[in-house]
Structure 1
Amino acid sequence: MESMGNNSPGPEIRALARNIRMSAHKARKVINQIRGCSYGQALMILELMPYGACYPISQLIHSAAANANHNMGLNKANLLVSRVEVNEGAVFKRVQPRAQGRGYPIQKPTCHITIVLEEISRSNDPIMSIESRKRGYVWRRK
């Protein structure tokens, strides 16, 4: 985990889900839509998307926000999805019986999802807004 320096806008809150029964490719398709969004905006996007991967990801965002609220006393409205990553997990291997005594292999992939939320505090850097963080622009005072 990265150390928090002076350029970090607030504390980082992590939530990790391991061995989720979906492929990492399908989870990344959903994750790329919420990267850089605020907490409420990410939940709204996940609720309206028609993919099955949205439900475990929204549960994980709820869990990260609950961690922030309970452990650090942060307000959920001030949270930003700063970093999201999906890694491939173990592959469950099964056999599908086929004709004439043959067996075809079936691979059931899993993935690990990590979500990091940050607090947005306007007192630290009043120039930088949520939209500029989402686009990757960071302006510093000289």
Structure 2
Amino acid sequence: MGARKRITAEKRKEAKQAISLAKLNNVPTSPRKMRLVADMIRGVEVFRALGVLKYSNKEAAARIEKLLRSAIANWEAKNERKAESGELYVSIINVDGGAMLKRMRTAPQGRGYRIRKRSNHVTIQVDTLNKENQN
């Protein structure tokens, strides 16, 4: 490997060291309901986000709270130290549509109405808060 290639690879590896992500696939709630909760914590410091999720009355908040704790644990394992208050924030949270179960519901006069039971995939990326990232 050439020197230039090695230097860029080390820079890329160092940049990846600061971020950590966690994924949750095939959550049996609609993506629209999950996005309402995801929008509450996007760009927020992680311990504040955990507090918001803990006291939210949405059913999806419990799932995202568990996923956020997993992302924090992944960051701690990668950096070999505990996360401190004010150090980490939720940089990216994506909610994508998953597989859809299609069912039929009986309707009047011999017809059937289609039921779509939606699911979603959630990805949370946790990043360290630098001086240049602050507003």
TM superposition score normalised by structure 2? 0.77
Is 1:112 aligned to 2:121, yes or no? yes
Superimposed CA distance per residue, residues 47-89 of structure 1 (whole angstroms, 9 cap, x where no aligned partner): 1111111011111101111111223324222321111111111
| Alpha carbons 1:39, 1:76 under 8 Å: kept | no
Q: Residue 100 of structure 1: CA displacement?
A: 4.9
Aligned to 1:88: 97
The percent identity for this pair of structures is 31
| Alpha carbons 1:21, 1:109 under 8 Å: kept | yes
Is 1:50 aligned to 2:66, yes or no? no
| Alpha carbons 1:74, 1:119 under 8 Å: kept | no
- Rg comparison, structure with higher value: 2
* CA distance in 1 between partners of 2:46 and 2:31 (Å): 22
Aligned to 1:140: none
Match of 2:80 among 69, 73, 79: 73
Structure 1 portions without partners, runs of 5+: 138-142
TM superposition score normalised by structure 1? 0.74
Superimposed CA distance per residue, residues 27-55 of structure 1 (whole angstroms, 9 cap, x where no aligned partner): 11111110111111000001111111101
Aligned to 2:23: 16
Aligned to 1:62: 69
Structure 2 portions without partners, runs of 5+: 1-8
* CA distance in 2 between partners of 1:44 and 1:96 (Å): 40
Q: Give secondary structure in 2 for the equivalent of 1:82.
A: strand
Q: How many residues align?
A: 124
Which structure features the higher share of helix residues? 2
Alignment-mate amino acid for residue 22 of structure 2:
A
CA RMSD after TM alignment:
2.6
**More deviation in 91-100 or 62-71?**
91-100
**More deviation in 72-81 or 97-106?**
97-106
